[in-house]
Structure 1
C-alpha cells in the first residue's frame, strides 16, 4: 500500500525568490510500493506531475547508496536529454535530502524530545544538553542504562575513547567511550557531541561520565596522544591509568622508507609480549635497527603502550 508523505514548504529551505520550484507540486508526495530493495517517491495526486525519486539497494543487499551529483547529471541527460551543471545536480540532491531528513535546524529543535523519549524507553538512561550563553546548543551527553550497568557489573575497567569530526553545515565533534566484553567485542558506553574538540569539552564529557561510574579502582583509559584528552583524564580521573592506542602510536614513529616499514613487526612484538625478558630482547633489536623510533617509544613511556609494563588491572589486546 502506498504511504502518504506530506512535506512542509519550509522543510525544503528553498529561497522565496526561486521561480524554478512550485511548492504546490512538491509539498505532497507518496511512497510507491516500498520494499527492502527499492524505495520510490512520486507526486501525490497530480497525474501530470512526472517528478519521482527512486533508490535501489546495492547488489541486492539492504544498503542504499545516495547518488552523487555526477550520477544525477548522467541520469537526467539519459532520461530527459537535458544537460545540467554539477551545481544544479548538487542543489537538487540537497533539496531531496532535506525532504527525507528535514533541515539541521529542525533536527536540533527535536533533540530535547529525542532525549526525553530515550529515557522513557530505557529506564535509567542519562542524557544532558548543555547550552551556551546565548541559549544555543553547546554539548550533548548520552549514556544508555544497559551500557552503564554492563560496564559496572560485568566488564573489565577499561575505557577506549576517541572522537570524530561531524559533517554538515554546523559540523562539530562526536565523542565516544567504549568498553570491551569477555569476547573482546566493542560495547558503546557513552557518546557525546561537542562544538569542538578541546580540553574543556573533554573535561565536561568525562565529568558527566564520572557521575555515573564513580571513581572505579584500576580504571584504565586507552586513547590517542591528543593533549586535550590527556589533560581531561588527569583532571577528572587523576588516579586512572592512561594508556595509548598502539595503531595511533605506530603512525607517530614516522617510518618512511620501505626498509623501515618492513621492521614494524618489532614494535608489535614489543607491544604484545607478556614477559619482560622478551620485551627487552625485542627493544634491543629496535635500538639497533630503528634507534629514532626506539628513543621516541622510550620517551613516551613503556607503561603507556607495552603489555609487559602495563598495570595488572587489565589486559590490552
Structure 2
C-alpha cells in the first residue's frame, strides 16, 4: 500500500481525425503489428456511433480498457484540449481550437477572477496580455501550434496581487462576451427580455452593465442562433416546397413585394396543412375563429390564424399566416387562401373581433358565411359610452338568451331608458352577437372569440423567432398536438366525448322542480315556476332553442329523456360530439421534417430579401395600449387638498380659502354634498341603475 496517493493529471483529448478504436474493443498497439494504412482503408469513422459502448464519454476517445493506458501514447494530429467555456483554465500547455476561442476564454477568465488586462500583442498567430494594474506582474502569452490553427498557452507568470474591479464594471464584459453568456438561455427559453438578462448577468458575476449593451448582446446571440437578418428568408421557398411535398393536400402561399431585377422582398406566407383541413371538414363543427397577434422579432409584422373547435371543445388549428400589417387587402388575401384550403362548408360560422378591414374582406370572400362578433370586445367598446348596471346586465342578458322573445324584452328595457344605446348597437355592431340570432347548423354557441385567443397564447414563445423558424415551429407544435390528441381519442371509452358526458351528468343532477306532461311518445311539456317549454325528442328541438343551437340536450329535454326507460343519451346528441367523429378529426398525422440544412434547394429565380422595415414616427412604445376594462393602477386624490397619495381623513395639509384662511372640514363636507347633488341632477347622464324588470328576466332565463 502507498503511504500517500499520488496526484494524477487527467488529460482529455478531442479530435476530428479518425479514431483508433475498432469493434469489440480492439485497440491499435505497437505489439500487435497492425498496418495503419490497411486499417484506414478498411475502417471509416462513419462506421462507429458516438455515445456507443466504444467511447466512455463524449469528451474522450480514450479506450475503455484502462490496463494499457500508461503503455500506449497515440499521437493525434490536429488535436486540442476540450475546455469549459464557463470555467476556462489558463495553464501552461492549455490548448484552444483557435485564436477567437482563446480570446473569449481570456476575457471570461478575467471577469470571473475580477481583473482587467491589456493586450500587448493581438495577432492571428500570437496573443500577449498583461494585467491592467501596473503593479501586478501577471502576464500570459499564447501562440499558434504547429498545425497553424490550435492555440497553446506558452508562458504564464505570477498570480494576481491586485484587487477586484467588477463591481463598477469590466471593460471585457463587452457585447460579444455577454452574448456568449446568454445564448444558451435564449435557446432554451425563447424570448427573454434584455432587462431580465441584465439582471441574471449582474447577479451571477457581480458587475454593473448598461441596458443598451445587453440589448445589443441579445441581438448578437439571436443572430448566432438563427443567422443574419438579411439571410433569414433565403430558405422560405425551400420551406414552402418541403411542406407541400411531405404533406399532400396542403395549401401554402407565398407573396412578395414586386420589384425590378432579381431581388424581391418578403411580404406574406400562408400555411394550411392537409391533415388540419381534412380533419376540420369531416371531424369538426363548421366554426372558425379568426384573430391576429403581433410578432416580437425585428420585423413588426402580424400573425393571422384560423382556429376551429372540435367535439370536445379543444382548439383545432386550421391555418395560419404571416402578414406585414392588418388591412383589407391582407385580410382578403388570407381569406382567399383559406377558401382555397377548406372551401365553403355548409353552415360555416366565422367569429372575429372586428379587426381593421376584416369585415369587408369576409363579405367579399365568404358572403354566405354567418359572421359573429366577439361579445367581450363588443361590450368593451359599448361601455366606453354607456356604463351602468342597466347596460351591463341588460346587454349580457340579451347576448346569452337563446329565445328571440326574451332577446327583444332585454333590448326593449334598454331602449326605454336610453334609445341612443340601441342606435349605437344597430349602427356600429350590426353583426351577430346574441345566441337568439345564431343559426342551428354549426352547433356552437360561443359568444366570444376565445378559441382564437387560445391559439395566440399557445404560440407566445414562437412569436419572437424569425419568419422561417416561426412557421416551422408552429408546424411542429401542431404536429405534436395532433399526435397527442390522436392517442387520447384512441383511449376514450364510451360513445360521447368527455366534455359532453360531464355536461349530461351535471344537468341530470338538477332536474328537481320540473313538471313533465307528455303528449306523445316524442312530445311533452316541461314546466317550472309558471314557465312552460315544449320538447320534441324526435326532431331534437325545444322551445328555448338551446338544444338546437348547442347540439346537446338542454335541461328541459333532459327532464323528458330521464323519464324514458332505457333511454340512450347518445341518440339525442349531435354526431359532432361523439368519440368516433373526434377520432376522424385527428386521424391524419402531420409529416416530420429534417433540419433546414437538409431541405431541398429551390431556385425561385430571384433572391428573397427580408421585409422592408417601416419604423413609425415618434418614440417606440414601451407598454402596450390596455383595454378599457383592464385594471389600471390609479393614485388616489385627496378630496380636501387636491393632492395625491393620501385620503381626506388623514389629510394634514392646510387648504387656503379665497380670503387666505384655512378651510374647515365642515365647509369641505358641505361643498362636497352640494357638488354631489348638482352632479346627480345633471341631464344626460349615461350611467343607469338596473331596473327590477331586468333582474326578473335574468332569473327566468336561468330556470
Q: What range describes the TM-score normalised by the shorter chain of this pair? A: 0.7 to 0.9
Match of 1:124 in 2: 249
Match of 2:354 in 1: 225
* Runs of 4+ deviating beyond 6 Å: 29-32
Per the TM alignment, residue 124 of structure 1 is displaced from its structure 2 partner at its CA by 2.1
Q: 1:190 to 1:275 in 2, by over 3 A?
A: same
Gaps of 5+ in 1: 4-28, 33-42, 58-62
**C-alpha distance after superposition, 1:154-177 (max 9, x if no partner):** 222222111222233322122111
Q: 1:208 to 1:78 in 2, by over 3 A?
A: closer
| Secondary structure of 1:312's aligned partner | coil
The yes-or-no answer on 1:197 pairing with 2:326 is: yes
What is the alpha-carbon distance in structure 2 between the residues aligned to residue 311 and residue 159 of structure 1? 14
What is the alpha-carbon distance in structure 2 between the residues aligned to residue 110 and residue 170 of structure 1? 17
The yes-or-no answer on 1:162 pairing with 2:291 is: yes
Q: 1:290 to 1:86 in 2, by over 3 A?
A: farther
1:303, 1:310 within 8 Å by CA — same for their partners in 2? no
What is the alpha-carbon distance in structure 2 between the residues aligned to residue 235 and residue 203 of structure 1? 8
Give matches, 1:40-51, under 5 Å.
46=102, 48=106, 50=108
| Secondary structure of 1:304's aligned partner | coil
TM-score, length-scaled by structure 1: 0.74
Per the TM alignment, residue 250 of structure 1 is displaced from its structure 2 partner at its CA by 1.2
Q: Which of 53, 64, 69 is equivalent to 2:189?
A: 64
**C-alpha distance after superposition, 1:106-165 (max 9, x if no partner):** 321122222222223322222111122122212211101111101211222222111222
Structure with the higher fraction of residues in strand conformation: 1
Match of 2:239 in 1: 114
Q: Which of 394, 405, 408 is equivalent to 1:266?
A: 394
Q: 1:94 to 1:255 in 2, by over 3 A?
A: same
Match of 2:342 in 1: 213
What is the alpha-carbon distance in structure 2 between the residues aligned to residue 116 and residue 246 of structure 1? 40
Gaps of 5+ in 2: 1-56, 60-82, 87-95, 109-176, 447-703
Q: Which has the larger radius of gyration?
A: 2
| Secondary structure of 1:108's aligned partner | coil
1:55, 1:64 within 8 Å by CA — same for their partners in 2? no
2:183, 2:221 within 8 Å by CA — same for their partners in 1? no
Q: Which of 137, 149, 163 is equivalent to 2:278?
A: 149
What is the alpha-carbon distance in structure 1 between the residues aligned to residue 268 and residue 359 of structure 2? 20
What is the alpha-carbon distance in structure 2 between the residues aligned to residue 205 and residue 219 of structure 1? 17
Per the TM alignment, residue 98 of structure 1 is displaced from its structure 2 partner at its CA by 1.8
Per the TM alignment, residue 306 of structure 1 is displaced from its structure 2 partner at its CA by 1.0
The yes-or-no answer on 1:310 pairing with 2:435 is: no
Match of 2:227 in 1: 102
Match of 1:297 in 2: 425
1:302, 1:309 within 8 Å by CA — same for their partners in 2? no
Match of 2:181 in 1: 53
What is the alpha-carbon distance in structure 2 between the residues aligned to residue 199 and residue 237 of structure 1? 14
Give matches, 1:8-47, under 5 Å.
46=102
Per the TM alignment, residue 68 of structure 1 is displaced from its structure 2 partner at its CA by 3.5
Q: 1:95 to 1:182 in 2, by over 3 A?
A: same
Task: Identify which of structures 1 and 2 has the higher relative contact order when contacts are C-alpha pairs closer than 8 Å and 6+ apart.
Answer: 2
Structure with the higher fraction of residues in helix conformation: 1
Q: 1:73 to 1:212 in 2, by over 3 A?
A: closer
TM-score, length-scaled by structure 2: 0.36
The yes-or-no answer on 1:279 pairing with 2:411 is: no
Match of 1:10 in 2: none
Q: How many positions carry a matched residue from both structures?
A: 277
Of 152-161 and 299-308, more deviation after overlay is shown by 299-308
Q: 1:66 to 1:182 in 2, by over 3 A?
A: closer
Match of 2:561 in 1: none
Q: 1:55 to 1:137 in 2, by over 3 A?
A: closer
Q: 1:76 to 1:235 in 2, by over 3 A?
A: closer
Match of 1:19 in 2: none
